[in-house]
Chains A and B, each alone.
Chain A
Amino acid sequence: MFAILIVFTSLLFVLAACGNESEQEASDSGSGDTESSDNEKAAEEDSGKPYIAIISKGFQHQFWQAVQSGAEKAAEEFNVEITFEGPENESQVDKQMEMLRAALDKQPDAIGFAALDSQASSPLLEEADEKGIPIIAFDSGVDSEIPLTTASTDNYAAAALAADKMAELIGEKGKIALVVHDQVSVTGAQRRDGFVETIEEKYPDIEIVDVQYGKGDHLESTNLAKTMMQANPDLAGIYGSNEGSAIGVVNAVRELGKEEEVTVIGFDSGKQQIDAIKDGVMAGAITQNPEGIGYETVKAAVSAINGEEVPENIDTGFYWYDQTNLEDEEIQAAVYE
């Protein structure tokens, strides 16, 4: 018992020392900035810079790291302090709520928020609204009037483009299936609906035989894409709606040796998808502009803090990339390894 106490207290000391150090650094870096502020916001007093808390949907995918790097770029450019965090897993709605609550308690000047579940977050968003903290939604958007603006890809339109490409590549006829990352989030739903509805409206000879959800988990998505091909041996194409889903489909096609038969279309980016496109296992993929999302989020937050008008929606754009344009400058800026 005594030993544990010693370990515990020494751990606390180490943590306390770390905490002090970073506070010290923060106040040092902010000391040159003498702009006076009339509120009592703790973060601002420490550093002198406006503080923006950014809550993303996760950080396990390279995508979020690209968003973070875009946000950091903007933070440097506009001289603001940011924090960037997200749950480990994109199904942890509850964990994200706790992060948003903690962010509110820190009294930031603005919050950037990518909701895993719009409904679940609305009470906290109202609380932020009452406190006068501007909210900038990013990535998937938030189903609420409260966010001043949303910096995001038009996922529905992007998925529709994926559907058009799929139709073109399989000759506008045959069976196809979807591996979607989840059915709860707005991105999951839009990337499914944009694809499904485009196929149903424009391509009567294409049949969607199955839609399954793999949580964006690589192994889970591999196993389920494999089963889809077993259930439908004549499947012409599969669309994977995010990085983990698309990699799962690629793994499955490779494991079954169906590289020549099944057209794979992905979403997002990452080393394995880029390699799969180079190898010809994946026909192509849609990429968002994650750095742009991060950058525009912080930029909009700064405008909001300064009391400037912000547009209702900020479209951060998307691209189709395949073997033919992978090396283009525009694509290289939007894909990430």
Chain B
Amino acid sequence: MTTDIANSHATAQKKYFKGTGALQQILAFASLIILIIFFSIASDNFLHWSNIEGILLSTTVIGILALGTTFVIITGGIDLSIGTGMTLTSVMTGVFIVYLGLPLSVGIIGGILSGACIGFISGFSVSILRIPPFIATLAMMMIAEGLSLVISGASPIYFSDIEGFNSIALGSVIPGISIPNAILVFFFMVLIGWVLLSKTIVGRYTFAIGSNEEATRLSGINVKKWKLIIYTIAGCFTGVAGVIMASRLNSAQPALGMGYELEAIAAVVIGGTSLSGGKGSLIGTMIGALIMSVLTNGLRIMSIPQEWQTVVIGFVILLAVYFDMLRKKNA
């Protein structure tokens, strides 16, 4: 029974990808290319390798958050706690490494596990306590925000004395090519997420729950358990984002992070994942996150006033959701 629905869903997924569903991704990818061409013509300084590297680097934190939250959104849920959750994980990383003096690797794993804990608690509230995801994760957002301030004593934790911490994000592991690790981590997370979502049972159930939760439950799948797992996975992504942010800033800033969740959700939506659940892709989210940062970078390079940058990004989100609706009407 279980494998039946999983198999039938896998074929449904294939159909979806071949059918109208791919439209959004193609649109998103085309928009990205058009934006890049536009900004290259508009400004001589756009298409330099160091600027492209800058765009990729500024995508990493929001991008990793967006990847994790794509899972949750495909189930038909939402996770508002990822922004402040990321801050809490960066603070916890600081606690492990700076306050407790644990080795770097243990601290990083600790940070990622703190993220997993946050995801687990959100997942527990949503699946076991049956609190609507919007409310449960809104509460988690506030809890994480408060805890970050409490744990850090409302002052930043500095990693300046920890040798090598800064290079987690900014060093480069590939000799000879100077690509900051953070960018590699981002693409690595895209790969992990893509494998999880399209090659494993977790991914199949993620889509199944989002398409029709009741039917999934009636087919004998333990929806509660799988939702818990999915939110925990999203939490791991939050943890990775937290470690990367702390490393890039060489400090854990306890009051950052608020509002990052909305940017991440925007990237997910632009990437073609439907907020009503059941449809979506991680490659789409990656493109969505890249569109957001190309747009911000390009407008900045053209010295467009910041107020207008925000207006333009708002319009892009509006357009993305409109295309999503068109797609649903056609389907």
Contact = CB atoms under 8 A, between A and B. Distances in A.
Real complex partners, A and B? Answer: yes
Interface of A: 58-60, 62, 65, 88-89, 209-210, 212-213, 217-219, 222-224, 226-228, 230-233, 247, 251, 255-256, 270-272, 275
- Residue from the set B45, B48, B170, B180 with the largest chain A CB neighbour count within 10 Å: B45
A65 B248 CA distance: 24
Interface string B258-302: 100000000000000000000000000000000000001100111
A67 to B, nearest CB: 13
B316 interface: no
Nearest to B293: A223
B255 A88 contact: yes
B154 interface: yes
Contacts of B245: 219
Contacts of B43: 231
Contacts of A62: 155-156
B57 interface: yes
B306 A271 contact: no
13 contacts: A59-B255, A60-B253, A219-B61, A219-B245, A219-B248, A223-B297, A227-B51, A227-B301, A230-B54, A231-B43, A231-B302, A251-B250, A255-B170
Interface of B: 43, 45-46, 48, 50-51, 54, 57-58, 61, 145, 149, 154-156, 158, 160, 170, 180, 245, 248-251, 253-256, 258, 296-297, 300-303, 306
Contacts of A228: 300
Contacts of B156: 62, 270-271
A271 B158 contact: yes
Contacts, number: 82
B306 A213 contact: yes
A88 B145 contact: yes
B303 A210 contact: yes
A232 B300 CA distance: 11
Contact of B45 (A233, A271, A272): A233
Given A212-B306, A233-B45, 9 more contacts: A60-B254, A62-B155, A213-B306, A217-B256, A226-B54, A227-B54, A230-B46, A232-B45, A247-B249
Contact of A212 (B149, B255, B300): B300
B301 A231 contact: yes
A212 B297 CA distance: 12
Contacts of A224: 300
Contacts of A58: 255
Nearest to A88: B255
B250 A65 contact: no
Nearest to B302: A231
From A59, A65, A89, A231, name the one whose CB has the most chain B CB atoms within 10 angstroms. Answer: A231
A256 B160 contact: no
Contacts of A219: 61, 245, 248-249, 256
A22 to B, nearest CB: 17
Contacts of B50: 230, 256
Given A212-B300, A228-B300, A230-B45, A272 B258 contact: no
Central interface residue in B156, B296, B297, by most chain A CB within 10 Å: B156
A89 B254 CA distance: 11
A290 to B, nearest CB: 13
A271 B180 CA distance: 25
B303 A223 contact: no
B301 A89 contact: no
